[in-house]
Amino acid sequence: MTPPSNREAPEKATEERLQQIRREAAETSARGPAHNTQIQGHDSYYGLPALKPPVWTWEVPLYFFIGGISGVSGCIAFIAHVFGADPAMIRLLLWIALGGAAICPALLIADLGRQSRFLNMLRVFKLRSTMSMGAWILVAFSGCAFLAVVSNEVELLGYRSTIVSALRWLGEASGAMTGLLLASYTGVLLGATAIPVWFTHRRFLPAHFLTSGLGGSSAILELSGFFMPATQTLGFIAAGLEIVFEALFEIRKPDVEAPLHQGRSGIAFRIAGLLEGATALMIRIIWGSAPGGRRAAAICFLAGSLLSRYAWIWAGRVSAKQSDVPFTLQRSGGAKTLSR
């Protein structure tokens, strides 16, 4: 039996709650009859959101950023090897790939609602689920990067043989392919959802994230002291592309893009675009001959690239709450015809 003293407490709490409810009801009714102020419009249900906003935590955009850099690093390592570039640079690129592959699963698991069940991600192989594809891509990339790093280190230790060399080429080539998938699938992940600002940009997002990964990987090489012409060229191209992307968003501004122009997500998106685009490019043009200038441009690009991943997630949250946009898109056929 529950002691009497404990039984009184919940009753007191209930009474207090009832008082509170009465006060709130009085306040609400003081605003006048509900139907006078809140009568139904034609576009939505009291302007309440018709979609659920993304529930992803801060780890996910950081994962997009790190996954993009390590994936593209794996790709550049292979191409650099083919063109006979500096072995020290190739070694660093392979380690970036493996390091990223080690951090990424930790970030993804941290975001899960039930972290102990992370292995359930590998229960099924589903081509139609981009999240499932992503899990498998990450596993494949980790394996390839590990093989490439180990065989490369073995060769650097002086154990040269046909088998080690073959394993290194195998690891690097498959790492390049899976790395490109890792850096781009995150764009597909956002693009194939019901969130208007994401699905209307499903063609743009993979290109944007790959560009971001390319510039980021090259920026890390420069920050590590590899000031060869190739990293300068890649830095120029990535920043130039980001300026083009930014300009495209400034030219036409449909309602669905409002989260990219207004509010916190809009400010973040603009600052990110300016950092990785115009600022990084201007520093390279004016001060690009000096290592300090290239370092500054690299830092600008990395900061902009990281911020832009967060801006896209924040924009998705705002977009899900735009009550009329999904309906207007559907009525105009925009949800379907834009898709094919």
Which residues inside 89-108 make contact with other proteins, applying CB under 8 A? none
Among 3, 4, 158, 229, binds other proteins (CB under 8 A): 229
Q: Which of residues 173-192 bind other proteins (CB under 8 A)?
A: 176, 180-181, 183-185, 187-189, 191-192
Tokens of 222: 């420069």
For 95, other C-beta atoms within 10 Å of its C-beta total: 18
Structure tokens at 206: 């993979």
In the numeric block, the tokens 């990339």 are attached to 141
Min dist CB 159 to other proteins, Å, is 27
Residue 19 makes contact with other proteins by CB under 8 A: no
Residue in 8, 15, 24, 250 binding other proteins, rule: CB under 8 A:
24
| Amino acid, single-letter form, for residue 167 | L
Subset of 297-336 contacting other proteins (CB under 8 A) = 316, 320, 323-324, 326-327, 330-331, 333, 335-336
256-275 residues near other proteins, rule: CB under 8 A: none
The stretch among 1-9, 158-166, 225-233, 264-272 that binds other proteins (CB under 8 A) is: 225-233
For tokens 């992370």, the residue is: 118
Nearest CA-CA partner of 183 in 54, 303, 73, 93 = 73
Q: Does 227 sit near other proteins (CB under 8 A)?
A: no
Using the rule CB under 8 A, give the single segment among 96-104, 132-140, 267-275, 283-291 that binds other proteins.
132-140
Give the tokens for residue 6: 């404990």
CB 115 to other proteins: min, Å? 8
Residues 42 to 71 in contact with other proteins, rule: CB under 8 A: 42-46, 48-56
Question: Residues 141, 74: contact at Cβ < 8 Å?
Answer: yes
# residues near other proteins by CB under 8 A: 97
- Which listed range, 61-69, 95-103, 232-240, 261-269, lies at the site for other proteins (CB under 8 A)? 232-240
* Close Cβ partners of 25 (under 8 Å, ≥ 6 residues apart): none
Q: Can you point out the beta strands (E) in 102-144?
A: none
Burial (0-12, 13-18, 19+ Cβ within 10 Å), 192: middle
Structure tokens belonging to residue 270 = 């603009």
